[in-house]
Amino acid sequence: MAMQIRNEVLARMYVVLLVVVLVAIAIVARTIQIGIGERDRWREEGKKERVRLREVEAERGNILAADGSLLATSLPFFDIAFDPNSTAMSKADFEANIDSLAWCLATWVDPSYTPGGYREYLIRKREEGARYVPIKKGVTFAEMQRIRQFPLFRLGRYRGGLIVEQRYKRQRPFGLLAHRTIGYLREGAKPVGLEGAFDEVLRGKGGKQYMIRLPEGVWMPLGDLAEVEPKSGNDLLTTIDINIQDITEEALYRAMVRHEAGFGVAVVMEVETGAIRAIANLSRTPKGKIWETYNHAIGTRVEPGSTFKLAAIMAMLEDGCIELTDSIDIERGRVELFEEKLEVRDAVAHNYDTVSVERAFQISSNVGMVKMALACYGRPGGAARFVKRLRQFNLHLPTGIEIEGEANPYIKDPGKPEDDWSGATLPWMSMGYELLLTPLQLLSFYNAVANDGKMMKPFLVEEIQRYGQTIEHFPPVVLKRKIASTETIRKAQRLLRGVVEHGTASKWNSPYYAFAGKTGTTQLDYRRLDDRTEVGGYQASFVGYFPADAPRYSCIVLISHPRKGGIYGSQVALPVFREIADKIYFTRLDLHQPLNDKPRPRLTARKLPDYEIGARREMKSLLEQLRMPYKELTRSDWVVVRTSQTDTLQLLKRRVPEEKVVPNVVGMTLRDALYILENRGLEVEASGFGKVVRQSLKPGTKVTGQTIKLTLK
């Protein structure tokens, strides 16, 4: 029985041993398979999990103003961290430096810690096996250089455990200047402005660097150098003039505050090229603050109102329907059309009856414009001819400016049922209603008139540069060589100048330079009822150019929903235009004619110095400095300057009496008279300023030491 039990136990032991041996053989076999056969695959898997070749951010290019000033730039900032368990850090190095390191960090980096508290914190992190301890984010280059010199950190990346990660932060040296035009890139938001439109140019090409994923979930660089160096982005040279931009924004901001307006737009464009020198967009937020939240100049379509009358009257001039000298009955500013279904009124009451077409435009008569439009285009087929002329002026097309968000213009077409063309459409369009344009599109049209009919594409970027060298240049682009005949353009220019000199803008005419343009006042959110029109607000505008004789800049100012201080373009928008134009004119020398631009006129005898008396040497020196030619007819010490019949100067000898008599000093300066009289022993008393006109002692009187009184004037 005992033997049987013993055999049974041994059998079981052999089975267990066999199972253990088989498992051991399987483990060894699998180990050999993984270590040798699948070594490369698992090594790659390990790299995927803990070590990766990750992208390194490239420095973004700059956005520059026209003079090279920085509008937007990327400044380097650094995130500082500490690896207390770096593989190359010895226990001796850590313990020798931890006290002084903690003191430096608590003193210069994070004063919320005491040195002792910081020391305990770092020791605890080391004991926990931490590999990434954040120290400070977003430090400047100077701060980073100081932290590099802290105890322990100065030993370097591996012995000292210092981790420095470079980041770039977008900065704008001029603050909010041209904020919306410069734009931005934000995660989860649509790119805006130049930053968005030229992102591929500005962002550069990222580099590659091996990084290890730490237990804290942070990717830490394995070395200081990238495997592939990042390539910085290129720079944009814009057309923005910093001074003009500042002038424009300030003028618009003051108007927004003064009139408590909803939003405002101001754009300044160079007439000859289409370069935008300033673009400002301000909106009132729900909390009442004024901010540049949207680019209304490019993205907001509005009914232009009376500023569109220029396009309407140019269409009529092109079709030969009217002449500026034609007469039109404006019926004292009120008329009822279509059997009293449509009432048209002029914005400002007046007592005019019959006036010329030119005068009707100057006073912005709605009645006059409507009656002319109906007379010219009221017959069958006329509406199509009117719209065809508007298309000739490119008013149906966007400008094509570089940045995103430009709204398409809307011009009704009588041939399209969806446009709902009615009998009232033509009169309303002639006044600037039932059509939509952005402020920039309207400005481009006026700019073409100022540019003798040549329509230029508005643009914001002149060049792409790299380290100051031009990579790509964007020349001005002509959208249309001639939007109208030369005769029509000349008449349009005359009309716009007349508005300023004799019309709705005459109050703001400048005595220093001439400008031309058109006021506009638009009803907003209106509803035409049977017995009245309900208006939800107004839009004031002025668009024009200056100087009128040789246009350099065109400008549009549009202010929507002014709540105080007026509603009309002449009250709200025109003062802003005038402020912008004044400051540009007075600060730009190239707008002023040089004084020496013309040949120097020949001076007539009455403008030349005549009967001037003085010392010959000083007279010669003065005439030579003034570059005035003269003939020297005497070598006397004292001379008289006279003008000859040929308008040239002559130095003649002055009669000087003998030493013992009183000389004639009339005509001399006081200094010369004193010199002569006192040298002859006379006491001199003088009154007045200028030259001697009278002396108390008669010339030729014997000198006996008497006093002579001189009167100067």
454 and 507 in a single domain? The answer is yes
d(CA 583, CA 355) in angstroms, rounded, equals: 36
Angstrom distances, CA of residue 293 to CA of 121, 468, 524, 673: 45, 32, 21, 75
Neighbours of 247 (CB within 10 A): 23
| Cα radius of gyration (the chain) | 43
> Domain count of the chain?
3
- What's the predicted TM-score (pTM) here? 0.74
* Structural domain includes residue 158: yes
* Structural domain includes residue 638: yes
Helix (H, G, I), strand (E, B) or coil at 344: strand
- Percentage of the residues of the chain whose pLDDT score is greater than 90: 53
67 and 167 in a single domain? The answer is yes
* Structural domain includes residue 138: yes
Return the DSSP state at 699. Answer: T
Angle between helices 309-318 and 439-450 (to 10 degrees): 50
In whole numbers, what is the pLDDT of the chain averaged over residues? 86
206 and 334 in a single domain? The answer is no
257 and 212 in a single domain? The answer is no
Of 196, 217, 238, which residue is a domain's last?
238
pLDDT at 229 over 70: no
Q: pLDDT tens for residues 240-265? A: 999 999 999 999 999 999 999 999 99
267 and 400 in a single domain? The answer is yes
pLDDT at 309 over 60: yes
> In the prediction, which pLDDT does 232 show?
85
Angstrom distances, CA of residue 42 to CA of 30, 39, 204, 215: 13, 5, 35, 20
Q: Could you tell me the sign of the dihedral formed by the alpha carbons of 435, 439, 443, 446, in that order?
A: positive
Place of tokens 């269409």: 315
Q: Could you tell me the sign of the dihedral formed by the alpha carbons of 251, 257, 258, 263, in that order?
A: positive
484 and 586 in a single domain? The answer is yes
Q: Are 300 and 438 within 8 A, CB to CB?
A: yes
Q: Say whether the peptide bond before residue 562 is cis (omega within 30 degrees of 0).
A: no
Place of tokens 């901010």: 291
Parent domain of 156: 53-238
pLDDT at 396 over 90: yes
300 and 434 in a single domain? The answer is yes
Q: How confident is the model at residue 1 (pLDDT cuts 50, 70, 90)?
A: low
d(CA 369, CA 356) in angstroms, rounded, equals: 12
Q: pLDDT tens for residues 340-362? A: 567 888 888 888 889 999 999 99
User: In degrees rounded to 5, what are phi and psi of residue 129?
Assistant: 85, 20
Q: What is the 3-state secondary structure (H, E, C) of 154-168?
A: HHCCCCCCEEEEEEE
* Cα dihedral value 106, 108, 110, 113, nearest 10: 20
366 and 441 in a single domain? The answer is yes
* Structural domain includes residue 471: yes
77 and 223 in a single domain? The answer is yes
Q: Which of 37-46, 587-596, 684-693 has the highest mean pLDDT?
A: 684-693
Q: How confident is the model at residue 645 (pLDDT cuts 50, 70, 90)?
A: low
* Structural domain includes residue 23: no
* Structural domain includes residue 373: yes
Q: pLDDT tens for residues 508-534? A: 999 999 999 999 999 988 776 555 667
For the record, the structure tokens of 707 come out as 């006093």
d(CA 243, CA 250) in angstroms, rounded, equals: 11
476 and 349 in a single domain? The answer is yes
* Structural domain includes residue 111: yes
Of 591, 622, 653, which residue is a domain's last?
591
261 and 323 in a single domain? The answer is yes
- CB burial string 119-144: b at 16+ within 10 A, e below: beebeebbeeebbbbebbeebeeebb
Which of 404, 499, 415 has its CA nearest to residue 460? 404
> In the prediction, which pLDDT does 561 show?
95
